[in-house]
Structure formats: structure tokens, C-alpha cells
Amino acid sequence: MSKYELAVVVNAQIDDDARTAVVDNCKALVERFGGVITNVEDWGKKKLAYEIQKMNEGFYYFIRFDAEGSAIAEIESRMRIMDNVIRYLCVKQDEA
């Protein structure tokens, strides 16, 4: 299993409960495809570098997990269609 980091930008215009539900869905998605979550960082509300879907701010979350390489494609395909996820990026961490 390799180490990965999933960066998620969540819509800033939704309430706290809905935002928590989106992050919980992201974590459940990782676990459903065999990932083991090691850390979740909440960076809070930040200004976006450029306007996305007429929004200038978003909540940033970083989910670190261990998973097989085959699970990443499945996770990304489901992240693409999640409501209130503005952007996401999954990267492999260096082993060093």
C-alpha cells in the first residue's frame, strides 16, 4: 500500500453541517475502496486563487491515507460528481 493525500476544496456557501457531511462522505469513499485514513487536516476558509463557479472562497481539507494504486481511480471518479466539492486533487506521497 502507498501513501496518498487527497486535497478537497468544499463550497464555502453551505452551512457547517452540510460541510461536515461532505468531508465525512470523502472519508467514507476512501475507506470503501480499501483506504486507511491516517490524518485529516482542516485548513479552514481560504480565498481561491481564481473564481470557480462564481465563488471566491472555499474550505480546504487534506485527507492523508494509505491505499492500493487501483483504488485511486475509483475514488477520483466518485469525487468528480460529488455535490459541493469545488476541486479535488489526489497525489502520491514520497516514501522517504
Summarised one tens digit per residue, pLDDT across range 16-73 is: 999 999 999 999 999 999 889 999 999 999 999 999 889 999 999 999 999 988 889 9
- The CA distance from 48 to 59, in Å, is 9
Q: Give the largest CA-CA distance in the chain.
A: 40
C-alpha 15 chain-centroid distance:
18
pTM above 0.75, yes or no: yes
C-alpha 60 chain-centroid distance:
8
Tell me the domains of the chain and their CATH numbers. Answer: 2-92 (3.30.70.60)
Concatenated DSSP letters of 53-90: TTEEEEEEEEEEEEE-HHHHHHHHHHHTT-TTEEEEEE
